[in-house]
Amino acid sequence: MDDQMQDLLFGLGVTTWGSIAFFIVVVYIVAQWRIFEKAGQPGWAALIPIYNVYILLKIIGKPWWWMLLLFFLPIFNIIFAIWMVNLLSKSFGKEVLFTIGLLVLGFIFYPILGFGDAKYLGPAGK
């Protein structure tokens, strides 16, 4: 196989995977927009970095200073992020298995949460 053919195949692969990644990111953003709207928050907040974390904290019923824990405490931020996903899941009446789905297969489970029939029940489902 000559160099030109290899370059063509490489370019095709990069374009294909780039397109797939772009599609997944767009679907995730739209799903997050819908999740925010279901919770009575502005959907456009999903587009703004840091502010979207603040809105997510409002949705799950945690104070704003949790952002400090998320942004400035290595290792512990992973624990808090997992806890936040669990609280988001509970806020929509979902169980622990759904939380695991959000963590492992988020590109599937966030759209299910955003576009499905899940209703916002309040912070952590209270």
State the DSSP string of 7-70: HHHHHHHHHHHHHHHHHHHHHHHHHHHHHHHHTTS-GGGGGSTTHHHHHHHHHHT--TTHHHHH
pTM of the model: 0.84
Least confident of 27-36, 39-48, 71-80, 96-105: 71-80
User: What tens digit of pLDDT does each residue of 98-123 get?
Assistant: 999 999 999 999 999 999 999 999 99
Full domain range(s) for residue 28: 3-125
Q: Taking 70 as the threshold, does the pLDDT of residue 9 lie above it?
A: no
What whole-number distance in Å separates Cα of residue 47 and Cα of residue 60? 18
Total tally of structural domains belonging to the chain: 1
Q: Taking 70 as the threshold, does the pLDDT of residue 61 lie above it?
A: yes
